[in-house]
Amino acid sequence: MPTDHPPRPLSGRAPRLQTPPGVVDTHIHIFTEGHAGQPGGPPPPEPATVANYRRFQQWLGLAKAVVVQSNAYQFDNACLLEALAAFGGDARGIAVVTPETDDATLERLTAAGVRGARIMNLPTGAVGLDRMEAVAARIRPFGWHVIVQLDGRELPGHEAALKRLEGPYVIDHVGKFLEPVAPDHESFRCLLRLVGRGNCYVKLSAPYETSKSGAPLFEDVGRLAKALVAAAPERMLWASNWPHVGVPRARYPDDVDLLDVLLDWAPDEATRRAILVDNPSGLYDF
């Protein structure tokens, strides 16, 4: 299969949301045929290349991206580094490293555009929450932060550790409550407490992964997103989660819906600009 063949939609109807210049998509993955899946991870999906993503950017009106190391590649950051080189200054990276990763490797990753380490506390994740604090301490001198993905219902059990993190960190996908919860649920109240401390960012992304009410507004996830926007608009981020890894073709989300939902979650234009441009540009050193 040619590596520039689009295995998923890369164009279509125009979004209703007119994006401002400089939009940062804070969570995408890149897969190419030249990089094999690694033991412990799921098999890589069909290729999702930088060239494919460039077409996707043009469709939705996006400018910059944060490439997140896929579980498929585990500790092998080679595909990530290749993607960052292809993007040039238009992308930053989130790598997978351990507390034992040496300074030379961290310096090389930083020079390539990496600004964070992935903590994935779900099946096939390479580094879990049990190593989060040690990884955070290791990367802090390089100006990185951790991004954390977990079942949000488990947040209260990790609240103390997250509070100990120095500097910024990011919680993925509106907390990713694998069974959607109400805004007054203790696990979501925990997320609001973390956000209220001033260093916790949250990605308003991937509602299709957990929503029971579904597109286009994903109301059950949306009520949580709206509460987060109300609590700390200056630390909310947006992401496409392209190319929607692990979603069967029959349930592939409408990418326009995933952008336009911000019109409901953040009706104020200035707030949307902060979420789409200002907040991620500062966090990711654009």
- Cα separation, 279 vs 223, whole angstroms: 21
120-163 pLDDT, tens per residue? 999 999 999 999 999 999 999 999 999 999 999 999 999 999 99
User: How crowded is the C-beta side of 201, counted as CA atoms within 13 Å?
Assistant: 25
% of the chain surpassing 90 pLDDT: 95
Question: Which of 71, 77, 121, 241 is labelled catalytic?
Answer: 241
Confidence of residue 8 (pLDDT cuts 50, 70, 90): confident
Q: Which of 177, 178, 211 is nearest to 192 (CA)?
A: 177
Number of residues assigned to the chain: 286
In terms of C-beta density within 10 A (0-12 exposed, 13-18 middle, 19 or more buried), how is residue 203 classed? buried
| Residue from 270, 206, 263 nearest 15 by CA | 263
Tell me: the pLDDT tens digits for 181-201?
999 999 999 999 999 999 999
- In sequence order, what are the beta bridge partners of 170? 147, 201
Measured between its terminal Cα atoms, the distance across the chain in Å is: 34
Q: How far apart are CA 37 and CA 229, in angstroms?
A: 37
Amino acid at 204: L
Q: How far is CA 224 from CA 77, 164, 182, 237, 245, in A?
A: 33, 24, 8, 14, 23
Per-residue pLDDT reduced to its tens digit, 258-277: 999 999 999 999 999 999 99
Q: Does the pLDDT value for residue 2 go beyond 50?
A: no
Known active-site residue 241: yes
Q: Is pTM, for the whole model, over 0.75?
A: yes
List the domains of the chain with CATH numbers.
24-283 (3.20.20.140)
Q: In which residue are the tokens 């069974």 written?
A: 179
